[in-house]
A = this chain, B = another copy of it.
Amino acid sequence: MEKLIKLEEKIGYKFKNIEILQQALTHSSYAYSENTPSYERLEFLGDAILNVIIAIYIYIKMPDKNEAFLTNIKAAYINRNFLQSVGENLQLQNFVIAKGLTNYRLDQIVEAIIGAIYIDGGMKESEKFIKKFLLKKEIEPLLDYKNFLKTIVWEKYKSSVHYILYKEEGPPHEKTFYIKVEVDGKQTIGKGMGTTKKEAEIKASIDFLKKMKLI
């Protein structure tokens, strides 16, 4: 209980119902054995709240940027690694309620806390948390074009991305790889070459994104 009050101070929000904060910290490993609710439903809710607050924020803040750019920035903010780092800064690992786990998914806990704040205090309060701990951090658009392509193809078309190695040239230590990228349900193909497969894949992704006018 003392611990929970300490966490409230850290996040700067006082819960009317402290049990909802407790639930946001309870991993299913503990929840199942003690027959108490886990954070998973709150994570589901918090994910959607986080998504919309970020979307509204960047929509308003960046009136000249197109949808593809906004999607890219949003992906950076809801990125698992970024949220994990937010959780680490808040030292959430000290507050997780779990059984026999040490490798906590703090990104999920961050989302669950956002969900808990929403349930307890409404959209404005969860927005405050997001502004304080996520949006005040400067963030760059993801430069990982493979990840960006995967994200935007999912968001726009609910389709998957496939990379195909269609040619290899040169001796083993000096190979050149030729990769094409295809998207289910799309005729456009992106192509790229490189000295590593990864490089060729990134170039193919950029080619595809340009052809589709997404960058």
Contacts and interface: CB of A to CB of B under 8 A. Distances in A.
Contact of A40 (B45, B55, B67): B67
A70 B158 CA distance: 18
Contacts of A45: 55-56, 59
Given A51-B48, A155-B47, A40 B56 contact: no
A49 B52 contact: yes
Interface residues of A, number: 28
Interface string A117-135: 0100001000000000000
A55 B66 contact: no
A88 to B, nearest CB: 18
A158 to B, nearest CB: 6
> 3 closest A-B pairs (Cβ-Cβ)?
A48-B55, A52-B52, A40-B67
Interface of A: 40-41, 43-45, 47-49, 51-52, 54-56, 59, 66-67, 70-71, 74, 80, 118, 123, 150, 154-155, 158, 160-161
